[in-house]
Amino acid sequence: MSQECGTCCCGEEVSEQELLGRLDEVIADYKDKPDGLIPVLQIAQGMFGYLPESALKKISRGLNKSYSEVAGVVSFYSFFSTQPRGKYLIRVCMGTACYVRGGKQVLDAFKKELNIDVGETTEDRQFSLDIARCFGACGLAPVITINDEVHQRVKEARIRELVNSYRASEPATAEGDA
């Protein structure tokens, strides 16, 4: 997302200033709630697509919390991101079963195909790459998710085809397709 404008969940283009204005309303709703920080962060991330520094500073001031406390919560929970994420968030399982069955090679193939590392987003903002510790699908290892879609028995040799299916907005979903 650029500094000038972003896309809210409804797809309309909205300036960062307008999003910060909307954030003021959210902060006002949670200002007097003792456990309001995490819900405000969740809502803000939903609005911006990530948590830019400007939003973190506004949340800090609005909830009367130190910036280090707000930033500490953001860095502690893996759900939160201070970097813009791509349209497609790829998570590669690195749990024991997935790792043993080729998860590391699958991760390396995604890094090579997308030319990014874990925690990064492609320049076109189509893909972000992350790892997970376990999806609870060990018998289907190695497993990845792309947004909310689970791909099982993923093969390193099919990563390019899988990525291209998302680039074309027609995700491959059949078992063994990846």
**Is pLDDT above 50 for 6?**
no
Residue 133, amino acid:
R
Predicted model pTM: 0.66
**Is pLDDT above 60 for 176?**
no
Q: What share of the chain has pLDDT > 70, as a percent? A: 88
Residue 172 pLDDT grade (very low, low, confident, very high; cuts 50, 70, 90): low
**Higher local confidence (pLDDT), 1 or 88:** 88
What mean pLDDT is predicted for residues 36-65?
Answer: 94
Pairing of strands 127-132, 88-93: parallel
Phi then psi dihedrals of residue 149, to 5 deg? -90, 130
Query: What's the pLDDT tens digit per position in 92-150?
Result: 999 999 999 999 999 999 999 999 999 899 999 899 999 988 888 999 999 999 988 99
Residue 133 pLDDT: 85
